[in-house]
Every structure is written in C-alpha cells, then in structure tokens.
Amino acid sequence: MLPDQDILAGWLVMTEVKIRNMEEFAALIGISRPTVSKYFNEPDSVRPTTREKIEAALAEHDYRPNMYAVNQNRKLTKNVGIVVPLLVDPYFAEIARNLEQRCIDAGYRPTLFSAHGTPSHEVEILDTLRSLKPAGVLLAPMGRASDRTALEKFCGKVPTLIFDSSVDEIGLAFVGSDNIQFTTEITDYLCRTGEPPCFFEMKTPANPNAHRRRQAYLNAMARFGHPAQVISVDGEGWSFEEIGRLGAHKAFDKDAFSTNTILCSNDRLAIGFLTACHERGIRVGREDGCAIRVAGQDGHPHSRYTCPPLTTISHDYDAVSKAAAGALFSAIEGAVRPWNSTRLEGKLVLRSSA
Amino acid sequence: MLPDQDILAGWLVMTEVKIRNMEEFAALIGISRPTVSKYFNEPDSVRPTTREKIEAALAEHDYRPNMYAVNQNRKLTKNVGIVVPLLVDPYFAEIARNLEQRCIDAGYRPTLFSAHGTPSHEVEILDTLRSLKPAGVLLAPMGRASDRTALEKFCGKVPTLIFDSSVDEIGLAFVGSDNIQFTTEITDYLCRTGEPPCFFEMKTPANPNAHRRRQAYLNAMARFGHPAQVISVDGEGWSFEEIGRLGAHKAFDKDAFSTNTILCSNDRLAIGFLTACHERGIRVGREDGCAIRVAGQDGHPHSRYTCPPLTTISHDYDAVSKAAAGALFSAIEGAVRPWNSTRLEGKLVLRSSA
DNA sequence: CTAATATCTTTACGCGCGTAAAATTTATAT
DNA sequence: ATATAAATTTTACGCGCGTAAAGATATTAG
C-alpha cells in the first residue's frame, strides 16, 4: 500500500515519486497489480480504458517492471541471443545490426555476442547464453574451429537458428547465402568479360562456405570449358586481409598466376590482395593499362572503398536476416518444422576492379 | 529436499540429475544453501575444504545459479554495459572488444550495445540499460547528436564512464585520446617531410574530437609559421567514407587544395578520400610520381590495407581501454574521485600514403 | 432490460535466491 | 587443553513479480 502522503507528493511534484514496484504503481493509478501485470505481458489483454490509464501513468512516472523478477519464473524469456564469430568484421557487424533491429521490432530483447575469433570464447558464450534463458538464439558459428559437441548440446536445449555458416542439420534450421550461386555467377561474369579467373583462397578456411565456393568455381570452369587454377595460401585465424596480402606476395613471387583475373574466396582476402598489388605497383582494374582484375565475394561493407572499388557478389543482407529472424520467431511461437536449409541468392556488384 | 532415489540416480548416472535450484544442489553435496550462496558471491569466503567440495560437485552437475533470482534483490549487479555509437565501424568494434575482455577478466558481465548511428537509439539503450541495473557503464557517446539531458539523467543514476568522445564533466570521468597531441604530432610530421598540409574535415562533425583536431591543426600551423587551410565538406551522419569521397571530388572539382598534402580529420574520411583519388587517377603517396600525400587520424583497423596504406596517428587502444575500464572498476568498488579527464597520446604510424 | 460474456479485483501462493540472527561446529592461538 | 575467532548451519523473512481461483463489476448482445 502506498501511504496517502506519497500519493499527494506525487500529485504535487509529478516525477519526484519513486515507484518501487508494480504494487505501488498499480495503487497510484487505482487498479490492481494483476491487471497491470497483464498489461505488461499483453497490452491488448486489458480494456482500452484501463490501458490508457496505465499508459498515461507510465508516461509520467517512469516505472518499468523489474526484469529480473519478471524473468525469474518465466520458463522462457523474451531474450534473443545473437552470436557472431567476429564482430570486428563489418560484415558480421552489419548483419548483426540487421538482426538486432528485427528482434526489437518483433518484441524481443536481443543481446549481442562475439566470439572474437576464438573457439573457446564461442563455448563460453553458449554457456552464458544458457543462463539467460533466451527464447531463442541466432547463431553464426565459427565454423571449422567450433566445438561441435558443445554446439549440438546447446541446440538441444535452446531453440537455435544457424545462419551464415552451416553446421549440418544442427538447430532449428539454417539460413544463409547460396555460395554455389555466388561463385557460379561471378565466375560466369568474369569469364564473359575477360580472361577466365583463377581462384584465390585460404588453404585452411574458417568455415565451409569457402569449400562450397571453391567447388562451385571448379564446376563452373569445367562447364565453361576453361582450365581451372586454385591458389591456396597459408594462414590461420581471422586476419584475412593480412593472409590475402602475404599470400598474394608469395604467389606473385612464384609467378603463380596463369591468368590476369583473380577471383578471391571472399572480400577480405581480396582487400589484402589489392594491398599487395599496390605494394608491388601492379595496376588492378578492367580498364586499359591494368595488369590484372580482382574480384571478391560477400559484398563487404568496405568493398566500395577499396582502390580500385571491388567487384563482388553481395549477400542479400536484408533477405538473409529477414529469413533468419523470421524462422526463429515462428519456431519460438510454436511452429514445428523439420530442419531445413534456406540459401539466398546474392547480387553481382560491378565495380572497377574487375 | 532431494529424495533419496534421486541422489542414488545421480550417483549412478552422474550428469543425468537435473538440479533445479541451489537448495537441491546444496543438499546433494551435504552443505547448507546459505554456504553455497556465499561461495557463489565470494568463493574465498568459505573454508577451502567446503570450496573444494562445491567445485567438485559443480564440475559434475552443471548447476549454475539462476541469474534472474540472483539479481532480483541485489541493488547492483555484476553487469557492465558497453555502449558505442556505431559497432559497424571497426574502430568501435575493436575498442569494444578490448573493453569486453577487461570486464570479463575483472569478474563483470559485459553487455554490448550499439546506437547504430541513431541518437534515438542511444536513448533507448540507456533506458534498457537502466532496467539491467548495471554496476557500471562504459559509454562512448554519439557526440553532437546525443540527447544531453538524457545522458546527464542517466549518469546521475548509473556509474558511467565516458570514453572516446567527451561530454563535459558528465559521468564519473572521461578517458580518451589526446586529440591535440594527435593532430599536432602528425601535422608536425607532415610539415617536416614535405609541403605543409591542409585539413580535410566534415563541416558538421559527429563529435567534439573533430573540433579539437581542427584547432590543433590551426595552432600547429601558426606555430610553424605556415598558412593554414581547412576544407570542410558537407555531409551528415556516420557514412564518413562516402562523405570523404564525395567531398574530395567536390574539392578537386573546385581546385580547392593549396597544397599537395591532405591531413584528414579521421581515417574513415581519408579512406573515402583515397577512393576519390583513385577514381580521378590521382596517385597518392610520398614516392616520386605521386601527386599528393594523404594522412588520416585514428589508426583505424582498416588503415593498413588501403591503397596506398594510410599514414595515420593511432589511438593506443590498449591503454585507452585499460584506463577506461580501470577507472570504472575502481569507482564501482568504492573509490571516490572528482570528475577528471584522461587523454592518452597516440603513436604515429608511418605508411606509404604520406 | 436481462442474460451472457469479458474484464477486473481480491486473495493467495510460489519462484530462486540474498541475507540477517542465533546457535553450533570447526579451526587457530595461547 | 582452553579460550578465542572463524566458518557453518538453521531458521526465517523478503524481494518483485507471475499466476491461479473465485467473486465482483462492467460491457455487449439479444
């Protein structure tokens, strides 16, 4: 019960009243706590007139339910975890941003996590996540380095949608880009507009997308009747630019390229490749006077600003995040569907590098 | 109380027992719940022998306290909010990563937030943050567009350390880089090694760092006895690369540069500037045959991979985040100090662009 | 206007844990 | 061994809210 003098004080001084809990807040408006509780869980479940009263009071006295008390008994909260392998990579930052917004719009409370390129970190995140009792998780796994057992165990306990990089048949479903289409389309473009490309990649790529892309390149070249060449460079970890740069230098040193067109497995490798080209004084582009053409894959946020701007095939960020978030939400809300994989097409982005 | 058959089952099947709460967990080990509770709040506060018993049980039955129940009564949790204006900018992603790790190492639970370049988002984050009852917050404000009133109000309720971009005398303290030193040092370098630079910036910069840098440039040029030229380009928002690119084109069109050396207010502007140069066929660098020199400021993670690699003056990421996190933690743990401002020096990174 | 229905109020309990106080056991010092 | 301090157990209460049940009230349909 709220003492009368407090109500009076609140009436006189407005925002000065400190509301400690739902009880006090309800008393202030003159309705019962259970009704207020109902409002917070489903605003439409109360009569319009009471809803107005609550919202009016809400505007004046900035009370909000104690989220810890709210979630204590709830078996599933409104939390959604978003996990990416490396937030310092703007590609992941961008898709995470997109997913985050969709969660908010759907009434969930997203929390962002990055494994920062460290597999052990990924496991710790899953651990942390479990104690958050999330309604669901959107997870872009690290890939090869991921602890499969830990992932599987986690997916068994929390509704998890895998995106970006697939781990076979784990979680609710997979949503990502169609890497086959990516590489096929850009290979096709490169073949049509100049010398057929070679394929520049990491020897031990971080995730299976890279393998799909290599295979798609090989298939496309075979279909077009061109000789294929894959250049796999050394390097571990997530410093793709540096790996690309060093690998390019090494390849140039060995005169490894049998063509003037280089298709990189991803944009970050291509960025490093371009740096190496600049360092060697090699002009890159499709114009006259350029020695080689370089293309990437991903539509990395930075690809527009490389020198020359990078021709690439871009993820449909919006479509991927929409599909991923949508699939998770419908699963959370009860839809039961067998595991399935959605792979969305990318769009060619023609710029001056190739 | 745990029924005997469950204990037996636990003994036989090990991890099969589902422990629902601290009561059951304590009963399993044979100690009292309050002691277990004490352990979780301060492992050293219990006798070594009991601690061992608890940790042994912990290793076997993956029980962890319900964090919602734990935080419900706690006035301050172990949560720490980390808020940046734009996580898609690798500069912020990198410093956030650094801060996050320091929080974990210090026993706090960091949660990452990005305003995604939208001021209203920043306010919403502060709102969300309040309901998290964080022990403290590390906040890099958006700057000019921030809602000062909201910031001030928030800082009055939650121990908040401001970093990166200062808002005068708000929060516990400010930790950031010494923009004066930044610009003075790189201006000095440019003057010593070639034509004195002009200063390329946004007309309406996002945060006060830009003003400090411009002023430091003007002061340095005056001190060195060189004529100063500031080129302020149009553009709102956080798409610095595009603003730099378009601004550079416009400036070149008007033949605005009175010198062959351009010092950009930050690296992202410089990246856009370099793109414009490439688009116009202008060779950038300090070597023979280059038309202009371009330098940035920030030591952006990407600056190593521009073409040419960007000469810049880099934040001491490690020192800044160490000072920021340290100041917050000591304040949380009771240290009372008047508001103060720490500005750390940057290090010149010489690359081929200037 | 009455009946049926939707909404609200009252009352009451439980969640998982923090935490205080008093009694008891254990460790350490004399 | 005894006194003293430290750690632990027992007991008990409260936090802020979800939620169920039963009765009261308001709304809508007929």
pLDDT digits (tens, 9 = 90+) for B228-269: 999 999 999 999 999 999 999 999 999 999 999 999 999 999
Residue B287: pLDDT band with limits 50, 70, 90: confident
Instruction: Provide DSSP, B72-102.
Output: HH-SS-SEEEEEES-TTSHHHHHHHHHHHHH
Cis check for the bond before A308: say yes or no (omega within 30 of 0).
yes
Calculate mean pLDDT across residues B272-292: 93
Half-sphere exposure of A82 (CA within 13 A, CB side): 27
Q: Which of residues 55-84 of A touch strand C (CB under 7 A)?
A: 72-73
Give B107 CA → D9 C1' in Å.
Answer: 29
- Strand nucleotide closest to residue A72 (CA to C1'): C15
Q: Is the CB of A18 under 7 A from strand D?
A: no
Contact B68 A71 (CB under 8 A): yes
pLDDT at A310 over 70: yes
Q: Is the CB of B29 under 7 A from strand D?
A: no
pLDDT confidence of residue B167: 85
Contact B304 A131 (CB under 8 A): no
Q: Is the CB of B223 under 7 A from strand C?
A: no
Predicted TM-score of the model (pTM): 0.90
Using DSSP bridges, classify how beta strands A198-202 and A173-177 pair: parallel, antiparallel or unpaired. unpaired
Handedness of CA A69, A72, A78, A80 (dihedral sign): positive
| Cβ neighbours for B345, distance < 8 A, ≥ 6 positions apart | B177, B178, B181, B316
pLDDT confidence of residue A16: 55
Q: Is the CB of B45 under 7 A from strand C?
A: no
B-interface mutation test, from A16, A70, A88, A123, most B Cβ less than 10 A away: A88
Give yes or no for a contact between B74 and B95, defined as CB atoms under 8 angstroms apart: no
pLDDT confidence of residue B46: 84
pLDDT confidence of residue A15: 43
Question: Distance between CA atoms of B95 and B79, rounded to whole angstroms?
Answer: 18
pLDDT at A20 over 50: yes
Q: Quick one: which of A115, A90, A104, A99 has its CA closest to B86? A: A90
Calculate mean pLDDT across residues B166-176: 92
Contact B133 A272 (CB under 8 A): no
In this predicted model, which residue has the larger pLDDT, A33 or A76?
A33
pLDDT at A280 over 90: yes
Calculate mean pLDDT across residues A95-123: 95
B-interface mutation test, from A87, A92, A98, most B Cβ less than 10 A away: A87
User: A67-89, pLDDT tens digit by residue?
Assistant: 999 998 787 789 999 999 999 99
Q: Is the CB of A42 under 7 A from strand D?
A: no
To 10 degrees, what angle do helices A90-105 and A317-332 make?
Answer: 40
Report chain A's mean pLDDT, rounded to a whole number. Answer: 91
Residues of chain B in contact with residue A240, where contact means CB-CB under 8 angstroms, are none
Give A28 CA → C3 C1' in Å.
Answer: 35
| Residue B342 backbone phi and psi in degrees, to 5 | -110, 125
Contact A275 B88 (CB under 8 A): no
Contact B272 A90 (CB under 8 A): no
pLDDT at B14 over 60: no
Give yes or no for a contact between B136 and B82, defined as CB atoms under 8 angstroms apart: no
pLDDT confidence of residue B11: 38
User: B68-89, pLDDT tens digit by residue?
Assistant: 999 987 777 899 999 999 999 9
Which of B64, B68, B94 lies nearest to residue A68, judging by beta carbons?
B68
Residues of chain A in contact with residue B90, where contact means CB-CB under 8 angstroms, are 88-90, 93
Contact A275 B302 (CB under 8 A): no
Question: Distance between CA atoms of A301 and A91, rounded to whole angstroms?
Answer: 6
pLDDT at B5 over 50: no
Residue B335: pLDDT band with limits 50, 70, 90: confident
Q: For the ranges A291-305, B35-49, B290-304, which has the lowest average pLDDT?
A: B35-49
Using DSSP bridges, classify how beta strands A136-139 and A160-163 pair: parallel, antiparallel or unpaired. parallel
Cα-to-chain-centroid distance, residue A59: 35
Contact B305 A271 (CB under 8 A): yes
Contact B275 A87 (CB under 8 A): no
SS3 of B159-204: the string is CEEEECCCCCCCCCEEEEECHHHHHHHHHHHHHHHCCCCEEEEECC
Contact B96 A109 (CB under 8 A): no
Which of B69, B275, B305 lies nearest to residue A272, judging by beta carbons?
B305
CA-based end-to-end distance of chain A: 73
Calculate mean pLDDT across residues A17-42: 88
pLDDT at B3 over 50: no
Interface of B with A in 71-110 (CB under 8 A): 71-72, 87-90, 93-94, 96-97, 100-101, 109
Please tell me if residue B129 touches chain A, with a CB cutoff of 8 Å. Answer: no
Q: Is the CB of B148 under 7 A from strand C?
A: no
Calculate mean pLDDT across residues A94-99: 97
Calculate mean pLDDT across residues A308-337: 95
The neighbour count for residue A215, using CB atoms within 10 Å, is: 13
Q: For the ranges A310-319, B45-54, B201-210, B316-325, which has the lowest average pLDDT?
A: B45-54
Percent of chain B scoring above 70 in pLDDT: 95
pLDDT at A48 over 90: no
Please tell me if residue B280 touches chain A, with a CB cutoff of 8 Å. Answer: no
Cis check for the bond before B309: say yes or no (omega within 30 of 0).
no
Residues of chain A in contact with residue B302, where contact means CB-CB under 8 angstroms, are 302
Give yes or no for a contact between A329 and A122, defined as CB atoms under 8 angstroms apart: no
Calculate mean pLDDT across residues B175-189: 96
Calculate mean pLDDT across residues B46-59: 88
| Cβ neighbours for A11, distance < 8 A, ≥ 6 positions apart | none
Q: Could you give the 3-state DSSP secondary structure of residue A193? A: helix
pLDDT at B8 over 60: no
Residue A8: pLDDT band with limits 50, 70, 90: very low
pLDDT confidence of residue A76: 77
Give yes or no for a contact between A316 and A257, defined as CB atoms under 8 angstroms apart: no
- Strand nucleotide closest to residue A68 (CA to C1'): D16
Residue in chain B closest to A243 (alpha carbons) equals B305
pLDDT confidence of residue B77: 87
A-interface mutation test, from B40, B66, B68, B121, most A Cβ less than 10 A away: B68
